[in-house]
Structure 1
């Protein structure tokens, strides 16, 4: 588990899903999250009369970026401007805020380069190269290796590939598992770690309508933020960035989405989906509800406490609503009808073919694996507070660096070190009062799952209750001092394992059990990976490849058309405008979250009320696509993905374009707001140039 300095939404994604990926069901409509090195050229030509040239794809790929906090973005000027969502940037906005300057609520505009605020720990990744390394990875794993040995062998060969690539190029190098283990690709990224805030609107504009409108449509949101990447202390000079289309979109127009969808499970068998429905998602929802109450109660203690808890609370509430929608979709019996029917047909065909019959055993293997995953649900000693996660990462790092690179855990290899240091040495504030509340709750939760009489729990409690123990741990730690963390890391194993910091001692106490649990989970994932590789092989043999693997939080291309839909007998137009935003505020006057900010009210007479604000399209997106650019046939930016409607929440495991839609801020609307509301004409003029 990575450090909890990551936004909770990303932590929860890793909590909920394994990394098994494979072939989804056969493509329908505008379904597809395509690899940039395997674009559906024929499909686009036949269906949309569009030629996806290599030059077009390369320009879009190199103009796209991935945020390490779990979102997407794009370069929008030659001098380093980056566009993403306000909610993707909120982690940075929160860390840059103070009791006297609440950037999330009040917004920000840098009037000059000197006013641009440096993010404490943000990393942006630009995908510059993709290499297929499947043969080498497979050659590194013995065909007769048991899961425990296979995990080590695969880890070793992947670490070797990544290190060689990093040493050769200096680029971040990640081996990505695709098509259920049928393919492995090496992704090389240029990293930008000097990222600065340029402009952000107020929350009242970015999250207008609040939780009530979240995952709904029509929407009237300005969920956008602009940052800038720097190199050697100066704005980066970029060869690839998106030009900006100044024209509003019309229904039926073809658009493309270039972003980093998190995880999908479209290859999942019926048994695997049942595990999600009956066990995993309910477990995560219980966790979310507990944390939501905790953050709400902390926020009620005062204005400053509410500010400190706000970003995490938003992530919890957003995740809770998303997973509630996913669960509702899985609880609908009709969701399983097509899935079960296709699975039965595949198994029937496999049994008829003597050369493929053995592949049918993969479905049984996956069903058995779900029992093992079920048994591991409560098996965790990760205490999800910033202090505890920092300490665990430092303890693991000290031990892993004593090993040869090929034997280290993922995330601790030489090629990962720079990104890890970016997180561990972040200068973002850590609030002790909030940490104490979170740590007490995590200790209490661990005691519930393991039992208070459990030896490890007794050692953690040290004769105190969870609240008293957390208070003592927080009072004694110095891990909020970056220099203390740096000294521990540079001091290596001796410094880390002799430290008397109470939270470091706690991390050392938990480390052996953490490793045991992590190893068990990795062995389960290895077995599942091998089984899904056979499922992928069976699907390919009987149906041919669908053209895209399940999502892996790596760059993909989706496409669709601007298109409205019918809901409850009412037609929903695909676009909204500023007039609609003001009308929406008026019709909900007095309701929380439906007040437009004062900047909007003061500028109403200057705003072009007919300017397009939001739109929907049929592009295939999920979480992780937040902040993705939406581009035209010409590769010009026309919008910014920020949400999906409620009908799209089943997209993790089932695509449909009947009602499901991707929701975007219009490029036209962003420019109109910058010019007419935020007095940012110079910024607006520099975009796309």
Structure 2
């Protein structure tokens, strides 16, 4: 479940019947863990002390991944694919850390990951009353602005020390609840160990979202502060052992986004408009990348991580389309809405939120395409747009700014903008050409927004002019513009800054329209739907994923695929049996060199019934003793429909075992310092 690079996708869907929550379904918040439900299902459930301990060790990484502290000295376990962009950023033509791996023999050799931040939840506070009071009777864009202002005020009050803490107001149940999450943050995160890419990527795109898997998708980072490793006494114990079939497992992490609580009208929008568009767009982007990468070995190296992300995204969108075309699955979604409507028929307090959402969704259909394409895609353009927007927003009072530019959000925004990171010009040009040409295709050549985006230039010519003419690849230049504020932005003649200045008013206009006609009405309606669900089903429901800390429980178990039992584990020796000698099934060099040392019966990857989604990548998989037995890195192909609903008969989480990671640390890519640290020595 790779985080998707560069491209933001619009996704919408709905849930299976809330009244029929399966035994292992649910991405539960830590302040509402269903202990009684788990105890009824498993005969045991963790107590509050257990929950507090694992919560304190769970880590959220910027870029869309999860992780955990596994030593008292800030050592962090996550997935290799969660740090592949860091390895790529640190690499050069002479030193390719992504291809060859990274292994810091000493702490002095650990290298800073640009833009990375590690965050640990320290407090969750319900602020629903404050947010709803601030919103009052406001509607549309006015309601959105009132919520944003109230959120900004709560975040600033909750985290006056923005150097070490971060506060974030999170919307749950689509607007039914609001929680203030407080994080202890670590802005100096360094890579410690990562295997050569051929080990986690063995099987490539054919094996992605499939099982059996033979993937060493693991890596270690370390959090630093004031130049020293942080002290993390609340870390998880390391348990390099084979999983036991049927044993209870917990996944603790930050699932990114699900759409299990939306309506049939919103589902129709996704099925008819956004999902087909995503498949088309990513298919073409994949083709453009493959063609460009064939031009030279250097381009292949520079584009490989991007291609992996795009192929992962494309497989997700294709899987969601398959879910839309499954009559039984779609029937359950429709039944969910009928069930809630029936149970809410006599609840006059909620009115008719379904009708309100239907009206708003119809309006969204008219603005979706221009709103999606008004922001071209590339890292350089993102820098330009952020600088232009931040200069204007920072001049305003905190409560009047756009989301993402409040005082609480600015430190991370500044870090990601100013951290030194290599820019690959041909990739920047390719992404701009792709996004601009697709804008012209979907909007039409004569559309005013197309004319705004392109003027008299072609997508190719404009992209070439902007990329070759800009200085934004230089972090010192970005810093000068950031520090110079509005005056520096207005005086800049950098072509990308000029271009971003030209597009910004239209982006703000479309955002206002989106808030007025869709976001505002839908949030109000979803708050009523949340009240309806609570009235109908009590506390048995959980909120959609929001890239905030959650816990799911399940067990080690296979499933049945086309009448065939899929075993729950693979063994490391199977890597050699599966190898063909050709990519993506070529043996990693480390495996070839260490074949005689590797125990072929070591459990490599395994599957569980835990309910996860993208964003859970890197999450620790924990046993009932609170020890780490693996790291979640994928789901099976059936779990893609988990965006809309959970099916416990087939949805599976794919995990790299701690036993296999230990085997790699000892024999394949030896790191005795990490082995000693994990062992408490």
Normalising by structure 1, report the TM-score. 0.95
Q: Deviations over 1:95-122 (max 9, x none)?
A: 1111112222211111111211111211
How far, CA to CA, are the matches of 2:546 and 2:16 in structure 1?
10
1:241 equivalent in alignment to 2:235: yes
Say which of 458, 469, 472 aligns to 1:479: 472
1:438 equivalent in alignment to 2:442: no
How far, CA to CA, are the matches of 1:656 and 1:292 in structure 2?
30
1:629 equivalent in alignment to 2:624: no
How far, CA to CA, are the matches of 2:126 and 2:219 in structure 1?
35
Aligned runs of 1:243-282 on 2, under 5 Å? Answer: 243-282=237-276
How far, CA to CA, are the matches of 2:522 and 2:457 in structure 1?
41
Verify the 8 A CA contact 2:16 2:646 in the aligned structure 1.
no
Correspondence for 2:387: 394
The count of aligned residue pairs is 675
Q: CA deviation at 1:434?
A: 2.0
User: Which shifted more, 87-96 or 270-279?
Assistant: 270-279
Q: Deviations over 1:533-592 (max 9, x none)?
A: 11121122122232411111100000101011111221111111111121111xxx1442
1:500 equivalent in alignment to 2:502: no
Q: Deviations over 1:370-420 (max 9, x none)?
A: 222222221131011111111001000011112111000011111111000
Secondary structure of the corresponding residue to residue 220 of structure 1: coil
When residues 11 and 556 of structure 1 are mapped into structure 2, their CA distance, relative to the original with a 3 A threshold, is: farther
How far, CA to CA, are the matches of 1:270 and 1:59 in structure 2?
40
How far, CA to CA, are the matches of 1:302 and 1:154 in structure 2?
50
Q: CA deviation at 1:20?
A: 11
Secondary structure of the corresponding residue to residue 378 of structure 1: helix
Q: CA deviation at 1:654?
A: 1.1
How far, CA to CA, are the matches of 2:57 and 2:260 in structure 1?
28
How far, CA to CA, are the matches of 2:12 and 2:272 in structure 1?
16
How far, CA to CA, are the matches of 1:549 and 1:315 in structure 2?
27
Correspondence for 2:675: 684
Verify the 8 A CA contact 2:159 2:408 in the aligned structure 1.
yes
Say which of 570, 576, 591 aligns to 2:570: 576
| Runs of 4+ with deviation above 6 angstroms | 18-23
Q: CA deviation at 1:199?
A: 0.8
How far, CA to CA, are the matches of 1:272 and 1:460 in structure 2?
29
Q: Deviations over 1:601-627 (max 9, x none)?
A: 111111111111111010001111110
1:88 equivalent in alignment to 2:79: no
Correspondence for 2:645: 654
How far, CA to CA, are the matches of 2:227 and 2:189 in structure 1?
10
Secondary structure of the corresponding residue to residue 251 of structure 1: coil
User: Which shifted more, 389-398 or 98-107?
Assistant: 98-107
How far, CA to CA, are the matches of 1:568 and 1:248 in structure 2?
27
When residues 19 and 233 of structure 1 are mapped into structure 2, their CA distance, relative to the original with a 3 A threshold, is: farther
Correspondence for 1:419: 412
How big is the alpha-carbon RMSD for the aligned residues of Structure 1 and Structure 2?
A: 1.9
Verify the 8 A CA contact 1:30 1:657 in the aligned structure 2.
yes
Correspondence for 1:381: 374
Correspondence for 1:285: 279
Secondary structure of the corresponding residue to residue 622 of structure 1: coil
Q: Which runs of 5+ in 1 are unaligned?
A: 1-6
How far, CA to CA, are the matches of 1:547 and 1:162 in structure 2?
27
Correspondence for 2:398: 405
Q: Deviations over 1:34-74 (max 9, x none)?
A: 10111111112222222322211111011111111101001
Secondary structure of the corresponding residue to residue 32 of structure 2: coil
How far, CA to CA, are the matches of 1:656 and 1:184 in structure 2?
28
1:164 equivalent in alignment to 2:157: yes
How far, CA to CA, are the matches of 1:666 and 1:454 in structure 2?
53
Secondary structure of the corresponding residue to residue 423 of structure 1: helix
Q: CA deviation at 1:10?
A: 6.3
Q: Deviations over 1:14-36 (max 9, x none)?
A: 52237999995542121011101
Q: Deviations over 1:238-258 (max 9, x none)?
A: 111111113211111001000
Say which of 214, 231, 243 aligns to 2:208: 214
User: Which shifted more, 129-138 or 145-154?
Assistant: 145-154
Secondary structure of the corresponding residue to residue 205 of structure 1: coil
Correspondence for 1:3: none
User: Which shifted more, 255-264 or 364-373?
Assistant: 364-373
1:603 equivalent in alignment to 2:607: no
Q: CA deviation at 1:455?
A: 4.6
Correspondence for 1:510: 503
How far, CA to CA, are the matches of 2:533 and 2:651 in structure 1?
26
Verify the 8 A CA contact 2:16 2:336 in the aligned structure 1.
no
How far, CA to CA, are the matches of 1:429 and 1:561 in structure 2?
42
Correspondence for 2:69: 75
Q: CA deviation at 1:460?
A: 4.5
When residues 265 and 469 of structure 1 are mapped into structure 2, their CA distance, relative to the original with a 3 A threshold, is: closer
How far, CA to CA, are the matches of 1:183 and 1:50 in structure 2?
29
Secondary structure of the corresponding residue to residue 560 of structure 1: strand
How far, CA to CA, are the matches of 1:668 and 1:412 in structure 2?
43
Verify the 8 A CA contact 1:67 1:73 in the aligned structure 2.
yes
Normalising by structure 2, report the TM-score. 0.96
Correspondence for 2:100: 106
How far, CA to CA, are the matches of 1:20 and 1:182 in structure 2?
16
Q: CA deviation at 1:686?
A: 1.0
1:644 equivalent in alignment to 2:638: no
Say which of 445, 456, 469 aligns to 1:452: 445
Verify the 8 A CA contact 1:81 1:227 in the aligned structure 2.
yes
Q: CA deviation at 1:435?
A: 1.4
1:132 equivalent in alignment to 2:126: yes
Verify the 8 A CA contact 1:200 1:225 in the aligned structure 2.
yes
How far, CA to CA, are the matches of 2:418 and 2:602 in structure 1?
44
Q: CA deviation at 1:236?
A: 1.3
When residues 31 and 19 of structure 1 are mapped into structure 2, their CA distance, relative to the original with a 3 A threshold, is: closer
